Structure 1
Amino acid sequence: MPERSQTVACRKSIVDTRTVATLKEHAKQIYLRTLEAARLDTHLAEQVRWADGILQVGEHSFPLELYRRAVIIALGKAAVPMAVYSADLLRGYLPFTGLVLAPENSGAPAELTFLRGSHPFPDESSRRAAELALELAREADGETLVLWLISGGASAMMEMPLVPEISMDEMAAFHRMLVHSGLNIAEMNALRKHVSAVKGGRLAVAAANAATQVTLLVSDVPEGRPDVIASGPTIPDGSTITYCRVLLSRLKEPLPPAIAELFAGLELPETPKRNDPAFARAFYLEVLSSSTLCTEAAAIARDLGFEAVVDNGCDEWPYDKAAVYLLYKLARLRQPGKRIALISAGEVAVPVTGPAGNGGRNQHFALYAAQLIDGMANTAVLSAGSDGLDGNSLAAGAVADTATWEYAKDPAGALERFDSGTVFSLLGDAIFTGPTGNNLRDLRILLADD
């Protein structure tokens, strides 16, 4: 990369490279400190604990004397740390067994069966995970405390067709079609729930033999939708068959034959709703969500001397519209002599057409934003995933400033090739954290110093 001079003459203004370099460092600092502040173990310890023989889960109390055993079933990208915390909490108080289903075994408790989860599409290992989860659930009785530990990514990791006529190959094809359908995550998961034996509250129904069920959630979906996280295996479902059929009318590709037949037939059962008896002794607590990211990032930005504003209004928008929206909001917030931080959480859509290079939605967003701020007065834009991974790259995301577009190698071509990761790696502006063991959606940080 060519060495930057102290100032760079640009079309729109004179960019102070020292200032924008500082802004980039501040953006990275806000992101990394936010990840630390949103640590799962810290928030679990605050919300799930023993007190005088009573397990306190948020506002709910569960006296130890009511139970003779516990079952821990942890699913998703944060399954291992959630299982470790819960096992440490129960050990010495209640005997327990269970299952951990995660992308990698980074130290799951020895008392629990570990299965490596398939992602992003289900396979036979997903069926095996579903069978074991159902078996554990059905064995629970009135003296069993069942802890469901659920985080994003488990929709593919655990799957079983609702009817035997549907093969796992068809389920994988169905998941693949949905990922490329243009539907948002809530819409995709509504369809997944209605053809699955374990989604949409059906795992809770399997454990309904008087067992006490507690679900702890780490949310990677829009706020207020716990039934969408991992397709809501233990949460009353808010979607309906009628809604699903409306969604199906928007699909451009045909459904796998057996799934199409199931949706077309009158015998398709509705998913369990809030009034189902299975939820009479079921409780849930959202331990972490994207609002945690926003709250922590805003506090850290203020600590660094910025006036912080949170705006999640572009969640699930196309990346280009989201970039324009946020940069326009930043422009309106700018005032002489003030340092502004605009914080936004959620996900943006980046439809991929043709072969993709290296990168993901965060780096693609950051590179597109770099084009919009090219030569603008002192501005930096960071976009990165809270799970530490972005698309098919090893980076969590990237940070851009007002000179990124000028110094990047063929940035316009990189956008067309979906190769933003290569651009930011060459510039030294890709952000690497490794897997964080958390999954709270993406964080965007836009900074301005006037």
Structure 2
Amino acid sequence: MGLRDEARGIFADALHEVEIGAVMRREVRCEGGWLSVRGLRYRLAEFERVVVVAIGKAALPMVEGAMSALGNVVRVEGVVVGVSLPRVADARLRYLVGSHPVPDERSGAAADAVLDLMTSCDERCLVLVLLSGGASSLVERPLSAAMTMEDAAELHRELVHSGLAIGDMNTLRKHFSAVKGGRLAVAARGVTMCTLIVSDVPPGDASVVGSGSTVADPTTVEDCWRIVREHAESLRLSEKLRRYFEAAELVETPKAGDVAFAKTDAMVLLSSDELCAAARKSAERRGFAVVVDNGCDEWGYREAAAYLLDRAEVLARENERVCVLSAGEVSVPLSGKVGVGGRNQQFVLECARLAAERGLVVTVLSAGSDGIDGNSQVAGGVADETTVKRARELGLSVEDALARFDSYELLAALGDAIVTGPTGNNLRDLRVLLVGRVPKGGTTVDDAIQRHVVTA
């Protein structure tokens, strides 16, 4: 099996391992009158009903797994908000489609439905909340009656194009919204609640996915004032929105210690860590020495490509077969008219260009776990040291494709686009670099790290 096929196999194995339905069935079980959720146990006889709220791009597979576990042993009702409707609906659930990536009236209607359900809960309800990426836009309603859904749409658009860190974006979203920053938990008035999260952001913070709808918010109105002040040039808010965030009476989000969180638990079910772990298991089974390096997360694609190629080249001097895995996302600054592609395809073509330039024998795969890369209909691509030469033989240029942000056409022509279709999951991107042995000497591991720390 060639290295391109090995890389494809590692990615496919990783996607299979983190398939949401299977994970939900494994982690959410109903046995002997108890509901078990990844180590937490709830005695169902203590509750008159179980309320299920699922929001996000992965809402459908998450809720299917949960409903399969719950079966018919207890009264269940709920609301599911995703990007599409299910092929087969559960009569106990209400299904809605919100808008993504910018909220609209559908998102507002979905927020109203979720809030109505939450406010109907009492101490005899067990609430199971299933959150995944995209929830911030799919369900939205301004906290202030003076703000409209048009204002919400403007805020989301401006935040996406502002260049702000995800933490700063979520700080503003939480203080704008009636359903974010712990306010869904407040609406449910202190009931027993368990939130399961499929995370599309860097691991470690449950308050980021869906802008922390059911968890205490550590950010403050003072943070909002600072963000709006420090990013006045890049954050081009309307005068109405700017006055809202600068107002002294800006309403604070609920904090730790609030009674709303007295009986709540939240845990990350899946993240890019699990995606990497699954890929590592597959690569080791295939005989590769594996190193996981997420140090270039959110770097520019050029810097990330050079850095990871250096790491792989160094490690290959001591091992016959090396696999470097890296999860997260790289950035691709766009300018002018762009073609068809995405950050993953741009990354692999840059690696192909560098490999040809250096004479490095390497195979690189980069793909999105959601199955969609940028404005293309593929998940990503795979390339190696022959990509530049094979492209030229077809009259195509890797350099030209990179300059035009038009990576898809070239990769598709070579048969090197990664096609999965929408996976119903979103654990960010996975990069796989496979290298054989290279001569000793030259770049060291420390050199590879230090060369790129300053530039990224």
Q: TM-score, normalised by structure 2?
A: 0.91
Matches within 5 A, 1:62-73: 62-73=42-53
Residue 303 of structure 1 corresponds to which residue in structure 2? 285
Does residue 316 of structure 1 match 2:298? yes
Identify which range, 121-130 or 229-238, moves more after superposition.
Answer: 229-238
- CA drift at 1:391: 1.2
Residue 132 of structure 1 corresponds to which residue in structure 2? 113
Q: Secondary structure of 1:433's match?
A: coil
Residue 278 of structure 1 corresponds to which residue in structure 2? 260
Residue 382 of structure 1 corresponds to which residue in structure 2? 365
- CA drift at 1:411: 2.1
Alpha-carbon distance in 2 for matches of 1:42, 1:83: 12
Identify which range, 116-125 or 230-239, moves more after superposition.
Answer: 230-239
- CA drift at 1:78: 0.7
Cα deviations across residues 55-106 of structure 1 (Å, max 9, x unaligned)? 1112221101110111111111110011111122223111121111111123
Alpha-carbon distance in 2 for matches of 1:445, 1:86: 32
Residue 183 of structure 1 corresponds to which residue in structure 2? 164
Does residue 447 of structure 1 match 2:428? no
For 2:367, the aligned partner's letter is A
Alpha carbons 1:195, 1:259 under 8 Å: kept: no
Alpha-carbon distance in 2 for matches of 1:324, 1:392: 24
Residue 18 of structure 2 corresponds to which residue in structure 1? 38
Residue 112 of structure 1 corresponds to which residue in structure 2? 93
Alpha-carbon distance in 1 for matches of 2:239, 2:106: 23
Residue 11 of structure 1 corresponds to which residue in structure 2? none
Question: CA 1:304–1:212 in structure 2 vs 1: closer, same or farther (change >3 Å)?
Answer: same
Does residue 347 of structure 1 match 2:344? no
Does residue 398 of structure 1 match 2:378? no
Alpha-carbon distance in 1 for matches of 2:296, 2:318: 26
Alpha carbons 2:21, 2:64 under 8 Å: kept: no
Does residue 430 of structure 1 match 2:417? yes
Identity %: 46
For 2:3, the aligned partner's letter is L
Alpha-carbon distance in 1 for matches of 2:406, 2:56: 28
For 1:364, the aligned partner's letter is Q
Q: Which runs of 5+ in 1 are unaligned?
A: 1-20
Aligned with residue 334 of structure 1, among 295, 313, 316: 316
- CA drift at 1:337: 5.6
Alpha-carbon distance in 1 for matches of 2:239, 2:180: 21
Alpha-carbon distance in 1 for matches of 2:301, 2:253: 33
Alpha-carbon distance in 1 for matches of 2:94, 2:257: 32
Alpha-carbon distance in 2 for matches of 1:72, 1:175: 27
Cα deviations across residues 275-307 of structure 1 (Å, max 9, x unaligned)? 211110111121111110111111110111100
Alpha-carbon distance in 1 for matches of 2:72, 2:367: 40
Matches within 5 A, 1:124-203: 124-203=105-184
Residue 26 of structure 1 corresponds to which residue in structure 2? 6
Q: Secondary structure of 2:422's match?
A: coil
Cα deviations across residues 304-323 of structure 1 (Å, max 9, x unaligned)? 11000111111111222211
Alpha-carbon distance in 2 for matches of 1:97, 1:124: 24
Alpha-carbon distance in 1 for matches of 2:345, 2:331: 12
Identify which range, 152-161 or 412-421, moves more after superposition.
Answer: 412-421
Q: Secondary structure of 1:227's match?
A: coil
Alpha carbons 1:38, 1:296 under 8 Å: kept: yes
Residue 59 of structure 2 corresponds to which residue in structure 1? 79
Alpha-carbon distance in 2 for matches of 1:336, 1:295: 22
Alpha-carbon distance in 2 for matches of 1:285, 1:145: 16
Matches within 5 A, 1:204-243: 204-208=185-189, 210-243=190-223
Question: CA 1:93–1:396 in structure 2 vs 1: closer, same or farther (change >3 Å)?
Answer: same
Does residue 256 of structure 1 match 2:243? no
Alpha-carbon distance in 1 for matches of 2:310, 2:225: 37
- CA drift at 1:260: 0.8
- CA drift at 1:336: 5.8
- Structure 1 stretches of at least 4 aligned residues deviating more than 4 Å after TM superposition: none
Cα deviations across residues 166-196 of structure 1 (Å, max 9, x unaligned)? 2212211211111111123233222211111
Alpha-carbon distance in 2 for matches of 1:413, 1:188: 34
Does residue 55 of structure 1 match 2:35? yes
Question: CA 1:354–1:253 in structure 2 vs 1: closer, same or farther (change >3 Å)?
Answer: farther
Alpha-carbon distance in 1 for matches of 2:17, 2:174: 33
Alpha carbons 1:130, 1:158 under 8 Å: kept: yes
Question: CA 1:355–1:111 in structure 2 vs 1: closer, same or farther (change >3 Å)?
Answer: farther
Q: Which runs of 5+ in 2 are unaligned?
A: 438-456
Alpha carbons 1:319, 1:365 under 8 Å: kept: yes
Alpha-carbon distance in 2 for matches of 1:160, 1:138: 15
Alpha-carbon distance in 2 for matches of 1:246, 1:119: 28
Alpha carbons 1:140, 1:211 under 8 Å: kept: yes
Alpha-carbon distance in 2 for matches of 1:151, 1:253: 26
Alpha-carbon distance in 2 for matches of 1:298, 1:337: 16
For 2:378, the aligned partner's letter is A
Alpha-carbon distance in 2 for matches of 1:192, 1:240: 12
- CA drift at 1:340: 0.3
Alpha-carbon distance in 2 for matches of 1:380, 1:54: 48
Structure with larger RCO (C-alpha < 8 A, sep 6+): 1
For 2:336, the aligned partner's letter is G
Q: Secondary structure of 1:301's match?
A: helix
